Amino acid sequence: MRKLIVSAAAAALLASGSIAFAAVKHTTGTVKTYDGTAMSLVLDDGSTFTLPKTFKDPGLKAGEKVRVSWDMSGKNKVAESVKIEK
């Protein structure tokens, strides 16, 4: 019985840890380059994001302050949303 409880507790701990790693991250910065053809966005700090095919350009241009919500896909930062900051 004790082994079952310990195993269940360990499984719950591992499951909750993997959920925490799946959380979306947020970055704010200034647009350095935006390429709608290559679906890429680079901020002035060097952060590079791949944009999804469904991305709708809110009017991005160099010098625009933005907030990027993103997640990792392999070694790439994939933007889930990009919003212009005022």
Least confident of 15-19, 26-30, 33-37, 57-61: 15-19
The domain over range 24-84 is classified in CATH as 3.40.50.720: no
pLDDT in tens, 40-67: 999 999 999 999 999 999 999 999 999 9
Question: Rounded to 5 degrees, what angle do the CA atoms 71, 77, 80 make?
Answer: 50
Contact 69, 28 (CB under 8 A): no
Average predicted confidence (pLDDT) for the chain? 84
Indicate whether this model's pTM tops 0.75: no
pLDDT-based confidence at 70, cuts 50/70/90?
A: very high
**Dist CA 35 CA 80 (whole Å):** 16
